[in-house]
Chain A
Amino acid sequence: MQSTTAETVRTGLSRRGRWGLGEIAFWLVAAATLFFLPERHLILNEIAIIGLFALSLDLILGYAGIVSLGHAAFFGLGAYVAGILAKNGITDPLAGLVVAAIASAILGFVTSFLVLRGSDLTKLMVTLGVALVLGELANQMSWLTGGADGLQGISMGPILGLFEFDIFGTVAYAYSLVVTFVLFVLARRIVVSPFGLSLRSIRDNPLRARAVGIPVNRRLVAVYTLAAAYAGVAGGLLAQTTQFVSLDVLAFHRSADVMLVLVIGGVGYLYGGLIGAVVFKVLQDVLSAWTPQYWQFWIGLILVLLVLAGRERLTDKARFAVKRFFGRFKAQRTDAMPTTSAREI
């Protein structure tokens, strides 16, 4: 019995791990924008970064069910770490990213113990509080962070010693896209592993997960730390490619925006963050060109309508449509895994 169950799970997971046609197409399109939309690389760069940031939120919200209103804490920390490093002479971008990721991961690890307890509301407040404390710190330690003026004078060296950042943002975009892609592949690998499966079971029913022997707290700490590192990389990318860091990276609206991005794209299947980032940025671009000062109103309206219409229903429908579209190209197969929807988070 034992071995057959393990066998079913294994085949199920490896099936989930297989790349679909839609996914390959998605990344091909993303790579194609490098060559076909040269004048849009600055905004595409931002999209890639926000996509990575939303992806990291998806790891904890969509896969572990932790509602966070302070995810910008890690993003901001990563940005500041990368920025300060570059300012003090360590101009290699990749080294900066690694250090930013480590710093954010440490912060994530330490604060993860705070979000293990309490209700959704307590988690919201604690995560929000952590971000606020960091924001306040960055504001006060102006000798290090530049305070309200922002961290200026960042100059980056060439990536791998080969590619110099250019003013059109082409290299920056390629850099962000590659980093996002690599981290995405890693995240995708993680969520289809037994570890990812255990996370989903914790999200769906923590009590039962504990009962079947999953070390709930340890798993949550691990994924929270991982998501923090991802967010730190996203922040680091922003600092390196824009060569500027301001207090804005730790602001509340960052955390709210990234949640919105993720929700637009759909929670719990990794692509949500990336698709949401595209939609959000394009929307923001259009709206702020139309009403520069008041675009937030329309963002708010979209958010309200999205919730009222039932966001899972919309994303489920969209996913179903995509599946049907690509389903025609491949043989029908039955999913051995019980499909978990993003309903209960």
Chain B
Amino acid sequence: MLTILFDGIAYGMLLFVLACGLAVTLGLMNFVNLAHGAFAMAGGYVTAVLMNRFGVPFLLTLPLAFAVPAIIGLVLERTLYKQLYARSHLDQVLFSIGLVFMAVAAVDYTMGSQQQMIQIPTWLQGRVEILGIQVGLYRSFIIAVCGVLVVALQFVLTRTRFGSRLRAAVDDPRVARGLGINVSVIFATTFAVGSGLAGLGGALGAEILGLDPTFPLKFMIYFLIVVTVGGTTSITGPFLGSLLLGIADVAGKYYVPSLGAFVIYTLMIVVLVLRPQGLFARAR
């Protein structure tokens, strides 16, 4: 029971790291980016390739799993995404679906369609018993890393100058620009960091979630659930949302496997119908 809770929390934390970039682009910048999973996949593949072909240790690949998607994100944001901020949601949806299709086919072409295996280091394998609970070491590691990231993100958003500038730029880009804030630089940075975090999440989660070319499509719905159910006005909303989703998913798969993902989808619909602005957000 507690082990399931623990696994659920680890899963939820992972989902949060994967989805928090989306929470910012979708929630704060109001851009429907269905291609977010592609960045996560990029991070996962960076780790997989570095480890399996070049023998780089797992931990050393993680910074690169952050950096490469971040750079890709930055380039795409500067060249393509920024032209679509002012467009309708339909345009954004179409554009990002197109990107997903391209990413899926491109990865399939270069890497093959099989599952990528990532061998986590031995000191992270296995389980230990703490206070009578079976605790997976790798999952504890994920919780620790993600926990640090959550705190750091929250700190940056609420306490630093960059955070307040970002929030200002999001609330009203025109006024923010008038006050001398370089909105486009802020957006680009945020987008890059969000993509990088997704990549990091993809790398960390490759062991748990699996990694193959259809990753962006398979987990797109999860990211969107996290963001829409959690509400999009803060970081804490998606965080709680992803924890809930993680625990519900793990518990659901354990106790009622025959229902599959049914429960989660139904819950999502119910939540969205009752509270379209999300569970943890105030109506605007």
Interface residues, chain A, CB within 8 Å of chain B? 61, 67, 69, 114, 117-122, 124-126, 128-130, 132-133, 136-137, 139-140, 252-253, 256, 259-260, 263, 293-297, 299-304, 306-308, 311, 344-345
Contact = CB atoms under 8 A, between A and B. Distances in A.
Interface in B71-125: 80, 83-84, 87-91, 93-95, 97-106, 108-109
Contacts of B99: 300, 304
A120 B265 CA distance: 18
Given A124-B224, A128-B221, A256-B97, 8 more contacts: A114-B273, A125-B225, A140-B262, A296-B104, A300-B97, A301-B98, A304-B80, A304-B99
Interface string B272-284: 1100110000000
Contacts of A118: 272, 276-277
Contact of B97 (A119, A130, A303): A303
A124 B92 CA distance: 12
A336 to B, nearest CB: 28
B269 A114 contact: yes
Contacts of B93: 67, 69, 124, 259
B272 A129 contact: yes
A188 to B, nearest CB: 23
A263 to B, nearest CB: 6
A67 B97 CA distance: 14
Contact of B268 (A129, A253, A263, A295): A129
Contacts of A308: 80, 83-84, 95
A304 B98 CA distance: 5
Nearest to B109: A294
A296 B101 contact: yes
A306 B108 CA distance: 23
B234 interface: no
A122 B104 contact: no
Contacts of B261: 132, 136
A293 B101 CA distance: 12
Contact of B260 (A67, A139, A293, A303): A139
SS class, residues of chain A in contact with chain B: helix
B130 interface: no
Given A124-B93, A307-B84, A308-B95, A297 B273 contact: no
Contacts of A126: 269, 272-273
Contacts of B103: 300
A48 B247 CA distance: 45
24 contacts: A67-B90, A67-B93, A121-B26, A121-B89, A124-B32, A124-B89, A125-B225, A129-B268, A130-B269, A136-B261, A140-B260, A256-B97, A294-B105, A296-B101, A297-B102, A299-B98, A299-B101, A303-B98, A303-B101, A304-B80, A304-B98, A308-B83, A311-B94, A345-B88
Contact of A133 (B89, B101, B262, B272): B262
SS class, residues of chain B in contact with chain A: helix
Nearest to B27: A121
A133 B266 CA distance: 7
B224 A125 contact: yes
Contact of A136 (B106, B260, B269): B260
B176 to A, nearest CB: 22
A132 B265 contact: yes
A344 B88 contact: yes
B228 interface: yes
B89 A120 contact: yes
A306 B94 contact: yes
Given A132-B265, A136-B261, A137-B262, A259 B88 contact: no
A120 B101 CA distance: 22
A337 B150 CA distance: 55
B135 interface: no
Contacts of B276: 117-119, 122
Interface in B226-274: 228, 258-262, 265-266, 268-269, 272-273
Contact of B32 (A120, A256, A311): A120
Contacts of A307: 84, 87, 91, 94-95, 98
